[in-house]
Amino acid sequence: MDKLSENRASAYLAFHYGDIKEEINKLSTRKNFAGILQAIVNHINILLTNGQAEKIGVRIKIIGCLYKRGNEYVQYLVENLFVRSFTGMKRRCTAEQWAYVYQTIPKNLKNIYQLQTKNNLTQNINL
């Protein structure tokens, strides 16, 4: 099976993120996949602010599927834009919200997040 390119990944995300479909399509026409992921992070943060943690889990699972099916560049951006946003998300959540959101994170993204967190702790200790 062919891996999803940024173009196909953009169409996949537009289909699954109906609330921000127009923004995703606009960024897609500009070939701005990083901008699309940032728009999704912003959307998830709005859901969090509005107390809609149950919707966040579904949104994160979509990105987990995209990560599995994406090409190297798509995976790289998911790791470095989307997964890194979990740290800020954790800060904005209550303990109960974060526990719920964390349990909904797909294993592949959770492994990346744990590795990033471990690497950040190691770097901070070495400073």
pLDDT tens readout for residues 77-122: 999 999 999 999 999 888 998 999 999 999 999 999 999 988 766 6
Give CA–CA dist 50/74, Å, rounded: 29
Give the pLDDT of residue 51.
86
Please check the confidence at residue 126 and state whether its pLDDT lies above 70. Answer: no
Kindly list the distances between the CA atom of residue 75 and the CA atoms of 34, 55, 93, 109, 117, in Å, as whole numbers in the listed order: 11, 23, 26, 10, 18
Q: What are the extents of the domains in the chain? A: 6-126
Helix runs in 17-52, H state only: 21-29, 33-49
- The whole-chain average pLDDT of the chain stands at 92
Cross-strand partners of 4: 70
pTM of the complete model: 0.89
